[in-house]
Amino acid sequence: MSPVLRLLLRRLGISLIVLIGVSMLIFTIARVIPGDPARIALGPNATPEQVANLRAEMHLDEPLVLQYGHFLADVSRGDLGTSLYTNRPVTLDIAQFLPATLELVLIAGIIMVALGLPLGILAARYRGRWPDHLIRIFSLLTVSAPSFVWAVILMLLFAFYLPIFPIAGRISDIYDIDRHTGFLLIDTLLAGNIAAFGDAIRHLILPAVALALSGIGQAARLTRANMVETYDKPYIEMAQAYGFFPSRIARIYAFKPSLIPSLTIIGLDFAAMLGNAFLVEAVFAWPGLSRYGVAVILRKDLNAIMGTVLIIALTFLIVNVIVDLLIAFLNPRIRHSTRAT
Amino acid sequence: MIRAIRILAANPLSLVGVILVALVVFAAIFAPWIAPFPTHNGAVVDFAFANKPPSARNWMGTDLVGRDLFSRILYAYQISLVLGVVVLAIAAPVGTIFGLLAGYLGGWAEAILMRIVDVFLSIPPLVLAIAMMGVLEPTLTNAMLAVTVMWWPWYARLVYAIARSEREEGYVLAAEVIGAGTAHIAFREILPNCLPAIITKMTLDMGFVIIIASSLSFLGLGVQPPTPDLGSMVAEGARYLPDSWWLTVFPGLAILIAVFGFNLMGDGLREVLGVDE
Amino acid sequence: MSALLSISDLHLGFKGLSGINNVLHGISLNIAQGERVALVGESGSGKSVTARIVLGLLQETRSARISGAVKFDGNDISAMNPKARAALRGTDMSMIFQDPTSSLNPAFTIGRQFTEVLRRRDPSMGADACQERATKMLGEVSILDPNRVLNAYAFQLSGGMNQRVMIAMALANRPKLLLADEPGTALDVSVQAQTLTLMRNLVADHGTAVLFISHNLGVVREFADRVYVIYRGNIVEDGPTQALFSDPRHAYTRALMSAVPRITGAGLPEVPEVSEDFFAPQISHGGVA
């Protein structure tokens, strides 16, 4: 078995254990709720009979362990229950709202990597000099405010004062695009509607940048820190002794060995974005999981809350497995873990 | 100490951080005396001055019911700092003990304890707190509880990583050889070596707790009105953009200033204590 | 024949918090074309920084204060701009480092690094030509399966193998001067001896001049035509290897030679203590080209 495949199986195994743990944690949180979930769901006008029926349906009269068993059995069948808020299966609701959130987070992730890593390289290359200081201040500033503050500031500046970008939403009302994937950037292209695609991008930019900002700062700091450590390694002096240009040494010789430790943390930053998307979506009225999540939370809609958190945890675990594979692929020590002498 | 002062002096950014933090702490403690309208931290209404832009009377303008924004921001700092201190005072020790045990004991204890930590770390922090606030009543105490529950695993992971590497160090082996007990080695030998990293992280985390707590109240899941909170102030004002810009901009900047201060200070502390990033 | 490298009255200091910290106090040194010259001294004596000045690396360090002339192939290195200095590195000059394994980049294959080095001399060199040249060079350092080595990463190879790779890379562009900073000190003694013999034969074949930096007198005696002994930033004695070893005149040289090397053979001899005689003026046995 190849080392990468072995790693993949191991990571999937661990992820499964963690996912079961997450389900326990969510279940525990859900059962901490004060009051009777059935009564809360049905509202104050329900008859005792109705409440009793729903309690039976939700298995609320059985011991906790059995309740968890039912929950796990349902989840493994892909059944997250029915939302008491929308009266639809939670899976359907999530399928409807998740793509908008994923699209936002993915684009934000790309912006984070595309700007954060080069800034980190630049800071490391000019460490101790003014570009380094400037980038340090920038990084510290970006991580010093929650993304909803950046969202509000960006909106004020670039949607109101300088009306470059739209204020809210995913796409202008004039475009009627068939939803195939739920990812508007893909659906507009599938429809062959370039104007709509451009419009969707214009709607994406401000929310994605607001979401990415603190990640950019973190990625830059991390890349710089790892690269500064790499700069002390003998192989960098060797590269200097061979007369390679400083910019080439930074981009290639110092960056690649430093990338691997950075990637793990960037995976975690991506996770933080899944949470922060709640904040940015609220500011830009982005029709994603956040609006749904906040709505179901305010209504104490247990099935929907548990389902949403579980799906987010699952997404995060998948991202982490992908990051781990990427690391394995980039790290020759893992790829060639059999020593050939 | 002298070295610390010299490093601070040579590093103007850290000095700025210390000054910002000192200002924020001062503002929070002395809010009742500094605030031009000390009663405006509660459910006061003054419609004659409702929704006014910044002026000589109200430096940062007034909110929709006429309360002085500057006064409310000072009081909001009180809430933020208390919340941060309480959360870290619980999360840091709990996480530290967890991490120490996992890192030093190894074997099954390590596997089980760290899987538990992994479970917590595999839900984006804010989502876990949101989920908890979803089932709890939105009060200050519950917000502290939710943020603490999501926070301790990060300390566990930090201390675990250090403890695991220290486990192999000569001084730990030496202590084992002379027959020191597990608790003695973990708390007397290994813990002191984790302290610089823990202290640095706690300083930086003061800022991040403020961010997470304000995020919860921004979503309406934290401290409830009329108690002044920076997050809910931004949420309330966001509906009146761009005309009443001061409703969002000043509370937003207030968060930025406080967190930036803690970040600069933590960054300087990292250098003084020689902690790796 | 004029000298390939001629250093005269080289001073070096580092600007620190408490003023200038002087490291070199006006050393002079010459190397003829194809000559193998050793610079011997304890660690901290200033031998490694000398190599880094010749390479033009220290000139890029902002805290370094350098004065004196360093002439390479008739051009004054200290008067050049950084770009011109960089152009010499990896082409007319190259360097071999102490620890071969950690001096090779862990993120790239040997082949990739070899290609990069070859393209320093000829940027237009194609992949096949690079592969061919690299294979030939690895053959010269007695590597029997060059293809496997080229596809490997440094951490997959033994220290001795990496040392050969480094020698092959360093000589691949036919440099006029090779700087060897304690080569192979990180290796075990027999491997070190093997690779040094290999290097000696190769530079002799190629007619490459070498500045060999070492603290190991035994190795120096085997390798060098001429020796400079450096002590605390001053050259204390120099001369042809034979003359210097048979008749060491300076107190420090004598102390160095009479001291017993550590059992590993690679370590620095235990020089008894600082003596006033060690600061006596330079003694030269002549023999400079």
Task: Give the ipTM of the model, two decimals please.
Answer: 0.90
Total number of domains in chain B: 1
Cα B268 to the center of its chain, rounded Å: 17
- CATH number of the CATH domain containing B81: 1.10.3720.10
Cis bond before residue B251 (omega within 30° of 0):
no
Name the residue in chain A with its Cα closest to that of B136: A33
Q: Lowest mean pLDDT: which of A30-34, B142-146, B256-260?
A: A30-34
Is residue B246 less than 8 Å (CB to CB) from chain A? no
Task: Name the residue of chain A whose CA is nearest to B17's CA.
Answer: A140
Distance from CA of C119 to the nearest CA of A (A): 10
Contact residues for C1 (Cβ-Cβ < 8 A; gap 6+): C32, C33, C289
Residue C16 has pLDDT above 80, yes or no: no
Tell whether the model's pLDDT for residue C277 goes beyond 80.
no
- A130 close to C (CB below 8 A): no
* Burial (Cβ within 10 Å: 0-12, 13-18, ≥19) of residue C286: exposed
- Which of the pair, C72 or A25, is modelled with greater confidence? C72
Lowest mean pLDDT among A85-94, A330-339, C43-52: A330-339
| A282 contacts in chain B (CB < 8 Å) | 218-219, 235
Q: Give the model confidence (pLDDT) of A222-246 as tens digits.
A: 999 999 999 999 999 999 999 898 8
The count of residues in chain B is 277
Q: Which domain covers residue B213, as residue numbers?
A: 2-273
What's the pLDDT at A341?
36
Nearest CA in chain A to C56: A241
Chain C residue with Cα closest to A338: C156
Task: From B10, B61, B20, B1, select the one nearest B37 (Cα to Cα).
Answer: B61
| Cis preceding linkage at B242, omega within 30 | yes
Q: Which pLDDT tens digit goes with each residue over C91-113?
A: 999 999 988 999 999 999 999 99
pLDDT at C85 exceeding the cut of 50: yes
- String of DSSP letters for A165-202: S-SSSSS-TT-----SSS-HHHHHHHTT-HHHHHHHHH
Specify whether domain A90-331 bears CATH 1.10.10.10: no
Q: Between B137, B221, B252, which is nearest A145 by CB?
A: B252
Chain C residues with beta carbon closer than 8 angstroms to that of A333: 106, 153, 155
Tokens describing residue B189: 């030998």
With contact defined as 3+ CB pairs under 8 Å, the chains touching B are A
Could you read off the pLDDT of C195-211 as tens digits, one per residue? 888 999 999 999 999 99
C-chain residues near A231 (CB < 8 A): none
B1-25 pLDDT, tens digit each: 676 677 666 778 888 999 999 999 9
Q: Say if residues B246 and B261 touch (Cβ distance below 8 Å).
A: no
* B262 Cβ contact partners less than 8 Å away, ≥ 6 residues apart: B17, B21, B203, B204, B206, B207, B210
Whether A242 and C89 lie within 8 Å, measured CB to CB: yes
Q: Is A240 in Cβ contact with C108 (below 8 Å)?
A: no
So what's the pLDDT on residue C71? 92
- What average pLDDT does range A84-104 have in this prediction? 90
**Res A331 pLDDT > 60:** yes
In chain A, residues with a C-beta closer than 8 Å to the C-beta of B245 are 156
